[in-house]
Amino acid sequence: MILSTHPLAADELVDGAVFYASQVTVGLAKDFVAEFERSVALLHTHPQLGPVWRGKFRRLPLRRFPYSIVYCLSGEVLRVVALAHQRRRPGYWHSRV
């Protein structure tokens, strides 16, 4: 399985970590990044773990944080299209495929 992350999804990870570091603690920001990495590793091993959501997309909610990894599968490629906050701008990432 080949993992591909959309550049804007990577930006969303950085933005979330910066928010947690500036508003809460650096430790929580590190936990946020670690949880993203744990979840992506889990998806790499079990790509169909997240339920189908909004057509061809799948999502996997992060533990402890109000974010979901939105991804799609295409053959042997797992493409992370967004790290979407669960309560903000639903579907904004649709054009990223």
Residue-wise burial string across 57-78, b where 16 or more C-beta atoms lie within 10 A, e elsewhere: bbbbebeebebbbbbbbeeeeb
What is the token pair recorded at 44?
A: 């790499």
Mean pLDDT of the chain, nearest integer: 91
- For residue range 8-27, list pLDDT tens digits in order: 999 999 999 999 999 989 99
Thinking of the domain 2-87, which architecture would CATH place it in? 2-Layer Sandwich (3.30)
Confidence of residue 92 (pLDDT cuts 50, 70, 90): low
Count the neighbouring beta carbons within 10 Å of the beta carbon of residue 37. Answer: 11
pLDDT surpassing 80 at residue 44: yes
pLDDT surpassing 80 at residue 95: no
- Domains of the chain, by residue range, sit at 2-87
Fill in the DSSP letter of residue 46.
-
What pLDDT is attached to residue 26? 94
Asked which of 5-9, 28-32, 54-58 is least confident by mean pLDDT, the reply is 54-58
